[in-house]
Amino acid sequence: MSLTDDTSGDGGNRWYDLFSRGTRDWLRHNEKVREAVRENLPDLVAGSDVLSRPGDRTVQVPVKFMEHARFKLRDSDEQTGAGQGNAKPGDVLRESQQRRGGAGKEGGGEGEGSITFVLEFQIDDILDWLWEELELPHLQPKQGNSIEADEYVREGWDKRGARSRLDRRRTMKESIKRRGAHPESNVPISNEDLRFRQLARRSRPSTNAVVFLLLDVSSSMDEHCRKLAKTFFFWALQGIRRQFSQIEMVFVAHTVEAWEFQEEEFFQVHGQGGTKSSAGLAKVQEVLDQRYDPGQYNCYLFYATDGHNFSEDREAAMAALEKLAPAMNFMGYAEVAHHSHRRLETEVAAIYDRLAAEGLPTGSYSMVEESDIWPAIKAFFSDQAADADAV
Amino acid sequence: MAETLKEFIPKIERLAQEQGLEYYPVDFELVPQSFMMEVAVYGLPVRMPHWSFGVRWIYQMVQHRMGHSKIFEVVFPGNPNRAYLVDTNSVEENTLVVAHVLGHADFSHNNMTFVRSQQQAGYHIVEQAAAHAHRIEEVIETEGTKRVEQVLDAALALEQHIDTNQALNRPDYYRERRPEGGDEGGPAGSEGGDGGFRNRFAQLPGEGTDAEPRARRAPSAPIPPQPESDLLWFIAHYAPEMEDWERDIFLAVREESYYFQPVFNCQIMNEGWASYWHSRLLREAEFLPSAMYVDCMKTHSDVVRPYGSDKQIALQVNPYHLGYTMWEKLVEEKGLEAARQIMREEDDFGFVRNYLTPELAEQLQLFVFNAKKNGEIKVTDSNLHELHEAILSPKFNFGAPRVQAQEVKQDGTLVLRHNHAGDGRGLDAARARRVLEYVDRVWRRPVRLFTTDERGREICLKPGWEED
């Protein structure tokens, strides 16, 4: 007999306190799940419920536990088992239940395989994957000659300067050098030792951007359409975000009128009545004029609607877009609808077609179901990349 | 607590020996709950890494957090036995556990299935498994996580597919015939006259892992000569292009399975035996303060009960409760010596079929139920034989479907065949295809598996990626 007790005696930790094999294998499992998720990027992009967490650079994705497969008999219609307790033949221990949706799928997991948990993904990682997947070039900010901003950068040292720019470290170095050369001196720091940082004024391309998200909230735009629009907006935004250090967003919703919203309320807005695109575009123009100087900002406009604009608004909408165009790096049109036939044959689609024919930087994307989101994002990024190449 | 336990252990052991328990020395160790949980997941204190253990581990953690699982002890048979107790459990609980562990130690020292397994897999499974894990860590260093993981995916998926009727170190099929084939490897290769010597030493113990002879069989000799159930052994020995470190992993997993199988095959007997002895030893332990005895027995009744305290009916049979009740009855009716004889000779199959009597089944209120796909569960009118089989059927063939290696074709294709007649129905095709993917990566030639579909027609499955 012997009894070892790790809590007494030497007080030292035992080997198994040093690491947890369970944690290690669990992390490895998660890594594999990540790999698997990565292989299904389209689902990831389409399925992630995002945008509602501003400032957070992660998305949460529900995933299933991986199942290590083994040979197993197929589920039979009837299974026999042994139980214990006060029951007699014929007793029904559980009533039959309505089959839950999705049951009967082969390999559809019971047991550990069906437990889901949430994995957090860095948005930047996902974008890297997207970029790799799409084999896109690294996008540069549009080097528009007009968009430049002045900034001050540190450059060299001076013996004179404002006290706030005193470089202590550099000053001490000079003091040590001087005292080394003149050991007889007993002045710790002389005026000659002082060093100040110099600032120089440089101009460089602006890395600011503003993205206008314009959403049609007329009665025909239901939850399904909004979800598509929201997901598309999110990823388009992330793509733009890669190119700019500062990005601001403007949320405009419209029916026959238009309003600016904060992000939180934006996707909850429900309007009444029909669609008048020109109203929304006018609102965008108004915000642009008031707050964003196109000389200082790279501007993007994304417009999501089911495309059913009043036909009498056609010319007004066209004019509004043409007016916005010179200020815009890109104007994207996301058509979200319920029917897969006659895609991009709506009023609004026709307007964007005309803009494109005029050589303006636009792109039109049609989304009817979740599986359309991925191709749309792909097309948008490719348009962006082509555009950047063209510069 | 450690002090109180230290004082009790020799007393309980003395009592156990007076009662006729025979066992190898037991090393008790108090360990943290977290360690215990890992042991429960991995089956061994130190075991090879694999992501599937991570899934089981998190599952166990969740169960534990929700208060659904409490682990009392784990004991690894061997010489010495290694028993782990949880340092946060009460001294009463651990006192009970010490007595329980001695019951297990007696069982594993005497039960034929355990004795045979230990003779083959050795008396130091804890150290052996740690050595396997260490070797695998080293291979990960040189080959990378991904490659090693692929081999473990295959080996661990086939974990249950062994054949303990054969020796752990079994020779290759045609090893005996080698001299006829002209063995240029041996020093006296072509000379006759040394046949006796060669035949005698052709199968040295431990040589089963030797990879050489498979190339030298007569071309006409079929591989395998008869359907082979030990898939781990078969693949390790006959895969056309397996690397040594890969074989090593297969054989390591197999060795651990040889150790696990008796635990699985004797669970009802073994847990019942240990429960019988903890209850009996503590009852006779006069040195225990009576308040403590009451607390110990409370723990006993928590462990050895048919169903949750809030329920009246369970859809499974608690092996502790079943085994305990059966042993109580057997000792009462036949005497301790007869009970010990049964303990030595049986495994759960013989134990349940021979000694779970109609009276006991009635006393225990055991029943057979039928669960339909629509969720309905109904108690059936069944006889004793049907009850036995309902209890035992999850235990057949190490809990796995019967899949055998049937043939290796000229082009190296491995043909597996599922005994669907024996198992009553075909395999789950989706899972089987994934297992074939695992196997394909180590076999490196086509892999096929015959089973039946839901209408009973024979189908041939391929790895998932070859379908469509």
Give tens-digit pLDDT for B140-174: 999 999 999 999 999 999 999 999 999 999 998 88
* Contact of A43 with A10, CB cutoff 8 Å: no
Is B404 found in the same domain as B362?
Answer: no
Residue B321's domain comprises 305-398
Torsion angles phi and psi, residue A221, rounded to 5: -90, 95
The CATH number for A229's domain is 3.40.50.410
Residues B377 and B425 in one domain: no
Query: Residues A122, A264: one domain?
Result: no
Q: How far is the C-alpha of A187 from the C-alpha of A125, rounded, in Å?
A: 56
Q: Is residue A189 part of a domain?
A: yes
- Report whether B327 contacts B319 (CB < 8 A): no
pLDDT at A246 over 80: no
Take residue B112 and report the two structure tokens written for it.
């034929």
CB contact under 8 A, A94 and B375: yes
Domain boundary at B398, B413, B444, which? B398
Mean pLDDT, to the nearest integer, of A267-291?
87
Q: Is residue A76 part of a domain?
A: no
Q: Is B178 a member of any domain? A: no
Is A316 domain-assigned?
Answer: yes
Is residue B365 very low, low, confident or very high in pLDDT (cuts 50, 70, 90)? very high
Residue B189 scores a pLDDT above 50 = no
Instruction: Tell me whether strands B81-86 and B26-31 are parallel, antiparallel or unpaired.
Output: parallel
Encoding tokens for residue A380?
């948008």
Q: Could you tell me if residue B215 is inside a domain?
A: no
Residue B317 lies in a domain: yes
Residues B322 and B404 in one domain: no
Q: Which domain holds residue A232?
A: 208-390
Check residues A13 and B167 and name the one with the higher pLDDT. Answer: B167
- A88 near B CB under 8 A: yes
Residue B253 predicted with pLDDT over 90: yes
According to DSSP, the β-strands at A298-305 and A208-216 are: parallel
Q: Quick check: B153 and A68 CB within 8 A?
A: yes
A197 and A257 in a common domain: no
Are B30 and A5 an interchain contact pair (Cβ–Cβ within 8 Å)? yes
Contacts A–B by Cβ distance under 8 A: 260
Specify the pLDDT at position B190: 40
Burial of A245 (0-12, 13-18, 19+ CB in 10 A): exposed
Do A38 and A159 lie in one domain? The reply is no
Question: Residues B435-452: what's their mean pLDDT?
Answer: 96
pLDDT of B240 higher than 80: yes
Q: What span, in angstroms and rounded, lies between the C-alpha atoms of A343 and A346?
A: 8
Helix (H) or strand (E) holding A320: helix A314-324
Structure token pair of residue B143? 């080959």
Q: Is residue B424 in some structural domain?
A: yes
Mean pLDDT along residues A83-103:
75
Q: Please give, rounded to a whole number of angstroms, the shortest distance from the CA of B35 to a CA of chain A.
A: 7
Q: Specify the pLDDT at position B42.
A: 93
What are the angstrom distances between the C-alpha of A92 and each of A79, B318, B372, B388? 15, 21, 11, 21
Nearest to A96 among B2, B87, B372 (CB): B372
3-state per-residue secondary structure call for B227-291: CECCHHHHHHHHCCCCCHHHHHHHHHHHHHHHHHHHHHHCHHHHHHHHHHHHHHHHHHCCCCCHH
- Segment A69-73 mean pLDDT: 95
Residues B366 and B428 in one domain: no
State chain B's mean pLDDT as an integer: 88
Number of domains in chain B: 2
Percentage of chain B surpassing pLDDT 70?
89
Facing residue for A93 by CB, picked from B26, B378, B386 = B378
Question: Residue B192 — pLDDT band, cuts 50, 70, 90?
Answer: very low
Structure tokens belonging to residue B408: 């290796």
Of the candidates A357, A368, A362, A356, the one whose C-alpha atom is nearest the C-alpha of residue A384 is A362
Looking at the structure, tell me whether residues A199 and A348 fall in a common domain.
no
Nearest to A362 by CA among A343, A344, A337, A374: A344
Q: Are B438 and B153 in contact (CB under 8 A)?
A: yes
Counting the structural domains of chain A, the total is: 3
Neighbours of A383 (CB within 10 A): 17
What angle is formed at CA B121 by the lines to CA B118 and CA B125, rounded to 5 degrees?
A: 85
- Please tell me which residue, B374 or B100, carries the higher pLDDT value: B100
Q: Tokens 């999110």 sit at which residue?
A: A234
Residue A89 lies in a domain: no
Q: Choose one of B343, B368, B398: the last residue of a domain.
A: B398
Q: Where are the beta strands (DSSP E) in chain A?
A: 2-5, 58-64, 78-85, 92-94, 116-122, 148-158, 196-205, 208-216, 246-254, 258-261, 298-305, 328-336, 362-367
Write the residue in B159, B317, B381 that is nearest to A82 by C-beta. B317
Statement: residue A339 has pLDDT above 60: yes
Statement to judge: residues B328 and B364 lie in one domain: yes
Q: What is the pLDDT of residue B452?
A: 95
Cα separation, B190 vs B180, whole angstroms: 9
Q: Are residues A327 and A353 in the same domain?
A: yes
- Chain centroid to Cα B295, Å, comes to 33
